[in-house]
């Protein structure tokens, strides 16, 4: 299992665990992470069989790629059994995605259910209460690896139009991003609900990448390559970051009080940005 703090969640492909063909195709794709879904994509009649299938797939593929499972909500009749199955899979499973994450207590319950494993947690934040409680949730457990912003349920609860432009989500996106950065976890954008790699998809993902998000969920393999490219620092950005850190190191070695590069002063804020660029470029 890859440590979830080093996982490059640039393109996270979500697939129903109940469909073996789709799940295996997803697991053999180039997505940085695959989330086997037990929640929205699985009907009540298939919850038990999907749980068993997800456990088998995670054990089979988890040694060679990043596999996570989205469980059902802990308040549902299936949630506890889902977590118990994930615990039995053990460290072949990278993380558990907790849907409709709303409280620190809920995340602590999930943490306790995974005791004795290295499985991480991702909080799928998709309700107004979840947005309200971001700070408390981020401090709930060291097992937390990422916040994922879910638009469909949140938009419905807010009464927001499904046609809302990316900029109309800025206030919510910034709250997720700030909370993630303040607590050292990843910020992952939720899925664009269209399945095409079209101009609208690219515009939406470029928007959140420019804001500072680490990656995005996708719901179709056709979107993987674009999502990966959008959230991967360019070679020019990597070169610039390398030069910045080298210039700062040279200035420090020379005992200079300040560093310059290309006629611009360099400070710690520039260094932080450069280190983040290199970390994102080097993440597996």
Residue pair 250/259 in contact (Cβ under 8 Å)? The answer is yes
Distance of alpha carbon 122 from alpha carbon 99, whole angstroms: 9
Which residue intervals of the chain bear CATH 3.20.20.60? Answer: 11-230
pLDDT in tens, the chain (284 residues): 344 446 889 999 999 999 999 999 999 999 999 999 999 999 999 999 999 999 999 999 999 999 999 999 999 999 999 999 999 999 999 999 999 999 999 999 999 999 999 999 999 999 999 999 999 999 999 999 999 999 999 999 999 998 899 899 999 999 999 999 999 999 999 998 888 899 999 999 999 999 999 999 999 999 999 999 999 876 777 777 788 788 777 777 777 767 877 777 777 778 788 887 777 777 55
The residue written with tokens 């979830």 in the block is: 4
pLDDT at position 4 is 42
DSSP-assigned states of every residue in the chain: ---TTT---SEEEEEETT-HHHHHHHHTSS-SEEEEESSTTS-GGGHHHHHHHHHHHHHHHTTTS-EEEEPPPTTSSSHHHHHHHHHHHGGGS-EEEETT---HHHHHHHHHHTTTS--EEEEEE-SHHHHHTHHHHHTS-TTEEEEEE-HHHHHHHHT--TT--GGGGHHHHHHHHHHHHHTT-EEEE---S--S--HHHHHHHHHHHHHT--EEEESSGGGHHHHHHHTSPPHHHHHHHHHHHHHHHHHHHTT-S-EEETTEEE-HHHHHHHHHHHHHHH--
Please name the fold of domain 11-230: TIM Barrel (3.20.20)
């Amino acid at each position: 299992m890859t440590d979830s703090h080093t996982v490059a969640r640039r393109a996270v492909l979500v697939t129903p665990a109940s469909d073996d063909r789709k799940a295996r195709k997803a697991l053999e794709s180039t997505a940085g992470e695959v989330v086997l879904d037990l929640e929205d994509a699985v009907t009540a009649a298939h919850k038990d069989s999907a749980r068993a299938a997800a456990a088998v797939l995670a054990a089979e593929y988890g040694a060679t790629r990043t596999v996570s499972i989205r469980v059902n909500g802990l308040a549902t009749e299936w949630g506890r059994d889902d977590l118990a199955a994930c615990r039995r899979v053990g460290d072949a499973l990278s993380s558990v995605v907790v849907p409709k994450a709303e409280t620190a207590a809920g995340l602590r319950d999930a943490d306790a259910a995974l005791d004795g494993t290295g499985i991480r947690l991702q909080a799928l934040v998709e309700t107004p209460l979840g947005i309200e409680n971001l700070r408390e949730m981020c401090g709930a457990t060291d097992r937390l690896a990422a916040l994922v912003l879910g638009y469909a349920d949140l938009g419905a609860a807010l009464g927001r139009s499904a046609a809302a432009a990316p900029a109309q989500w800025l206030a919510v996106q910034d709250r997720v991003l700030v909370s993630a950065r303040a607590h050292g976890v990843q910020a992952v954008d939720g899925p664009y609900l269209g399945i095409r790699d079209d101009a609208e998809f690219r515009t939406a993902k470029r928007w959140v990448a420019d804001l500072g998000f680490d990656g995005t969920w996708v719901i179709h393999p056709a979107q993987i390559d674009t999502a990966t490219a959008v959230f991967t620092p360019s070679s020019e950005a990597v070169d610039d970051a390398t030069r910045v850190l080298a210039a700062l190191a040279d200035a420090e070695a020379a005992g200079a009080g300040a560093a310059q590069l290309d006629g611009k002063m360099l400070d710690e804020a520039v260094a932080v940005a450069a280190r983040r660029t290199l970390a994102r470029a080097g993440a597996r």
